[in-house]
Structure 1
Amino acid sequence: MTARPQISTDAPARSRRPGPIVPASSVSGHTLVMVIAIMTYLAGLTVGAVDLVRATAAEWERDVVRETTIQIRPAEGRNLDAVAEKASQLARETRGVVEVRPYSDAETARLLEPWLGSGLSLAELPIPRLIVVRLSEDEPFDQAGLKAKLEAEAEGATLDDHRRFLDRLVAMARTLVALGLGVLVLVLAATALSVVFATRGAMAGNQDIVQVLHFVGARDGYVAGQFQRRFLWLGLKGGVAGGAAAMATFLVAEFAAEQGVGSAAVDQMDALFGRFQVGATAYAGVLILIAVIAVLTALTSRLTVFRTLRALD
């Protein structure tokens, strides 16, 4: 009678890799990614708008330093061409003036076209004659001297440095920037709250595993690290999706503005904000925002896990 072969029990048992505490995919995870993507998209648009307004305000401030305007008010019996010629001569003789350029009637009509339409006849309207005076960036401008000369020798000509109007525009721009930063903070706060609820939901779904690990002596840092890595990945996915959508919106808006050059609406926007172009700082800001949201998501989940585990003690 032949003996049956014996199966050795000394062979090492096949090691099993433990599964993650937090499921790799779940409904709550997909929902959180969508929420983070939407929040990142809105925050990215806010970053672009803030950058556009900030750059425009800086350009306004540079313009007021580089140039000023002489206005000649029309009046009965006043020869605007003669007064403009005299005012231009006085401006050229003033210290700190680089260039003097009187606006013709056609150029003035083009300036008013976005607001008053084409085919404008200046003879029918009391439109002032404009002279643009470009200033030196190195030599100081003798503003008081030019004002005195205009009052004495060029009747109806006044010097306007746009300071009062520009100060209002810059104040408005700074207010918009502050509001935009406030919106950005609120979006980040809403994202953090969403992560808190998602983390609590994930812990509630894995409550038995978390409690067993906690009571057998697993360190809180180990459990928190499991959640942190998972939510860091979720935050990064949502941040990249929302940030990419925001950048795509910037490109589409710039393309639409380029295609609409010459229309009344685009001309009015150009007159107020200059050429619509989102700068490189806005794109860099969106990239930084993606990283901030991913880190914020991970840290928020970690702190939430620590607070929950301490409540079990």
Structure 2
Amino acid sequence: MAERPGLFTRWNQARRADGLALRRALPDRLLPLLVAAMTVLAALALAGATGAQILSARWSNGAASMLTIQVPDPDTPTTTAGTTTHLTRSDAVLAALADSPGASRVHRLDKAELGALLAPWLGQDHDFALTLPAIIELHMAAGTQTDATALARRLAAIAPGTLVERNAEWGERLGRLADSLHSCALLAVAIVAGIAVVLIAATTRAGLAARRLPIELIHAMGATDGYIAGRFARRTALLAFIGGLAGSGLALPILVLLSRVAAPFAAATPAPTPASSADWTMLAHTLLATLPTPLVATLLALAPAAALIGWLTTQATVRAWLRNLP
């Protein structure tokens, strides 16, 4: 029984059977390099779009649904009708906020959290000489509308001087900013895709010009437009797929680095730095886990998308070129 030829042997046979000599018409090096560069640019633009969308959702659902309450002299006992009670001003405000309609969570920042907020201005090693006001976060349930003015009047009656800061306005502004960044990133992706189409079309036309005589010959002998366009399109799709894989691989470490930088804004924990070379495998899984799922799916789809763009562009280019033949 004869042994079946191996993959390398079949590949060499396919190369020799290429009557149109597409290897010379569509060079193996130039087109994948161009597609790889376009893939890296598309990956970065899509990363910006995905990040802007995540930040928009977080700002809209987080900051917009939270109110910040400042209670000065938080440890001073409250007075009701001239009588001092056992509750401090901060405890009285916390009790009133817990009974607020639509409140999902009431949290008072502790000393460590206040220190982290003030660290950019006062440094890590600080000792507060003044009594800081109590900072309370009031998180509202989704879809709940809160009258900040009425709440401020009610809390001021319990603890005079209490301030209520509504974050919804800032959340809306940040959301609009993130939406505009998302639109700009999608526009950048569209521009990159358009440039890729132009480059593939130009490369295909150069290949058609290089093999004009053989193409005219087989076309005159009865080869259909679909057959010739299919031969070019399959090779272009393969080269574009290889370039897309290379570009995705090049973009991955850049996206992981950007994800680590943006982790504080997305409420994510950056991956730890490995202590030894044995930790690199675990680190790779951790870094991939830090990437948003939509971004990972998009990164995996770039190579097939590049192949599809290459196939469609080549089909259209070759068919249009063949229609102009005498």
* TM-score range normalised by the length of the shorter chain: 0.7 to 0.9
**Structure 1 residue 19: deviation in Å?**
2.5
Give the secondary structure class of the aligned counterpart of 1:281: helix
Contact 2:26 2:207 in 1 (8 A): no
Are the structure 2 counterparts of residues 99 and 207 from structure 1 closer, same or farther at C-alpha, using a change threshold of 3 Å?
A: closer
Match of 1:190 among 195, 216, 220: 195
Task: Name the counterpart of 2:60.
Answer: 61
| 1:88 aligns to 2:87 (yes or no) | no
- Greater radius of gyration (CA): 1
Match of 1:153 among 150, 158, 168: 158
Aligned residue type for 1:192 = V
Give the secondary structure class of the aligned counterpart of 1:150: helix
**Structure 1 residue 224: deviation in Å?**
0.9
Instruction: Provide the rounded CA distance (Å) in 1 between the counterparts of 2:226 and 2:59.
Output: 53
Are the structure 2 counterparts of residues 54 and 127 from structure 1 closer, same or farther at C-alpha, using a change threshold of 3 Å?
A: farther
Contact 1:22 1:226 in 2 (8 A): no
CA RMSD of aligned residues (A): 2.8
Aligned residue type for 1:55 = I
Task: Name the counterpart of 2:86.
Answer: none
Alignment TM-score, normalising by the size of structure 2: 0.75
Are the structure 2 counterparts of residues 142 and 105 from structure 1 closer, same or farther at C-alpha, using a change threshold of 3 Å?
A: same
Give the share of equivalent positions with the same residue, in percent: 26
Give the secondary structure class of the aligned counterpart of 1:131: strand
Instruction: Provide the rounded CA distance (Å) in 2 between the counterparts of 1:206 and 1:99.
Output: 71
Match of 2:294 among 269, 281, 285: 281
Contact 2:42 2:189 in 1 (8 A): yes
Instruction: Provide the rounded CA distance (Å) in 2 between the counterparts of 1:307 and 1:80.
Output: 78
**Structure 1 residue 81: deviation in Å?**
3.0
Task: Name the counterpart of 1:45.
Answer: 44
Match of 1:292 among 270, 295, 305: 305
Instruction: Provide the rounded CA distance (Å) in 1 between the counterparts of 2:118 and 2:168.
Output: 21
Are the structure 2 counterparts of residues 136 and 171 from structure 1 closer, same or farther at C-alpha, using a change threshold of 3 Å?
A: closer
**Structure 1 residue 59: deviation in Å?**
1.9
Listed as ranges, the gaps of 5+ residues in structure 2 are 1-15, 77-88, 271-289
Listed as ranges, the gaps of 5+ residues in structure 1 are 1-16, 258-265
Task: Name the counterpart of 1:203.
Answer: 208
Contact 1:100 1:132 in 2 (8 A): yes
Task: Name the counterpart of 1:9.
Answer: none
Are the structure 2 counterparts of residues 280 and 224 from structure 1 closer, same or farther at C-alpha, using a change threshold of 3 Å?
A: same
CA deviation digits over 1:170-213, x for unaligned, max 9?
A: 11111111111011011111111110111011111111101112
Are the structure 2 counterparts of residues 140 and 182 from structure 1 closer, same or farther at C-alpha, using a change threshold of 3 Å?
A: closer
Q: How does 1:1-313 map to 2 (within 5 A)?
A: 18-24=17-23, 28-64=27-63, 67-72=66-71, 79-82=73-76, 83-114=89-120, 116-123=122-129, 129-136=134-141, 145-254=150-259, 257=260, 270-275=263-268, 277-313=290-326
Q: How many correspondences in the alignment?
A: 279
**Structure 1 residue 51: deviation in Å?**
1.4
CA deviation digits over 1:151-174, x for unaligned, max 9?
A: 333222122230111111111111
Instruction: Provide the rounded CA distance (Å) in 1 between the counterparts of 2:18 and 2:144.
Output: 73
**Structure 1 residue 128: deviation in Å?**
5.1
Are the structure 2 counterparts of residues 231 and 22 from structure 1 closer, same or farther at C-alpha, using a change threshold of 3 Å?
A: farther
Are the structure 2 counterparts of residues 139 and 215 from structure 1 closer, same or farther at C-alpha, using a change threshold of 3 Å?
A: closer
Task: Name the counterpart of 1:13.
Answer: none
CA deviation digits over 1:215-256, x for unaligned, max 9?
A: 3332111111111111011111111111222234334555xx
Give the secondary structure class of the aligned counterpart of 1:273: coil
Contact 1:96 1:142 in 2 (8 A): no
**Structure 1 residue 140: deviation in Å?**
7.3
Instruction: Provide the rounded CA distance (Å) in 1 between the counterparts of 2:231 and 2:120.
Output: 60
Are the structure 2 counterparts of residues 194 and 139 from structure 1 closer, same or farther at C-alpha, using a change threshold of 3 Å?
A: closer
Contact 1:95 1:140 in 2 (8 A): no
